[in-house]
Structure 1
Amino acid sequence: MQPLQPAPAVRRSGWMWVGAAAGLALAVSMFVNSGRSHAPAATSRPPTETFVVSGAVLLGDGVSFVRDDHGGCAGTGDQADIKDGAPVIITTGGSFAGGRLTDARALADGTCRFWFSVRGVPTRQDAYLLMVADLDARQYNEHDLKSALLALRAD
C-alpha cells in the first residue's frame, strides 16, 4: 500500500478561463435574445409619436416663496420642493416623460415663476398625469397639454 499524498496542484492555463468566460457570455446573450420578437422590421409597430409640453409654474402668495439677491426665488413651507431643478413628470398608462423647473424669477407682480419643458410625451393617450416636485399630480387631456403655454398655480 502506498502512502496517501496530496494530489499535485493542477495549474489551469489563462486561455481556459478566457474560453469559459466567452462561453458564459455567449450563453447569457442567447438567453436574453431568445425572448425578443424576430418579426421583420416591416411588420413591427411604428414608433409612437410624441410632443413637447411647455409651461410655467407660479407661486403667488408672499408666504409660499422667498426671493434671493439675484432676482430668483424658491418655494417655502409646503412648496419648499418648488425650486430650480425640481422634476416635472408626465405619466400615461404605460410610459412617462420628464423635465425640470428652470429659470426661477421673482416677478414685479409679487409672484414667483418657473419655466419647464417636457419632451417625448406620447400622443393619443386617454389621460395624462402631470406632477411637479412632490406636489399632487393633476390630470390633463392632450388638447390642454398642447395649448400654447400651460400655466400651473402651485400655492
Structure 2
Amino acid sequence: MPCEVYCHSLTDPTILGPELRAAGAHTLTVFALHLPARLFTADPDGARAAALAATLRSLDSVLDEPIAGCVAHGPDGAPCIEARSPADLERELRMPGGHIFHRDLAWPFAEHPEEVGRWGVETDDPAILLCGAGARRGGGVSGITGHNAAMAVLHG
C-alpha cells in the first residue's frame, strides 16, 4: 500500500494534551495514496477494515518491529486508530469521491503522444488551466501546478 507517514507531534508536541506529552506519546498520521472510491461501494465498512489492515502491513514492512506494539489503546481496550475511506471523506467533508487531489491519481509523465510537451494543467477548454491538486503534474501543496500553468500561458 503506497502511503505517506507523518509524526506531527515530534515538531509540535502541543497537539497532545499534557498527560500524553508527559507519557511520551506521539501522533502518527498514515495517508494511503491511492484508494479509488469504487473499492468502498459494495461494503464500505469491510473495505475500510481491509484497507486499514493492508496499510498497517505495509507500514510494518519497513519497520523493525510491528507498529501494533506502539499503538495506544483506549479505556475500552480498542486501539486508538482512526481510519477514513474515500466514502467517509465524501460523506463527512462533501469531497466528491473522497478525492483530496480532486480526481484519481495519475502518473505525472505523458502516457499518450498528444500529452508530450504539455504542462499537465490543460483542460478540455483551452482558456481554463488547472492550478491545484487536480492537475496532472504536481498538486498537493508543492506549488508546481501554478508554475506549470504560468509556463503554459507564457510558452503555449
TM-score class, shorter: under 0.3
Please state which structure has a larger fraction of its residues in helix: 2
> Greater relative contact order (Cα 8 A, min sep 6): structure 1 or 2?
1
Using the size of structure 2 for normalisation, the TM-score is 0.23
Query: Rg larger in 1 or in 2?
Result: 1
Please state which structure has a larger fraction of its residues in strand: 1
Using the size of structure 1 for normalisation, the TM-score is 0.23
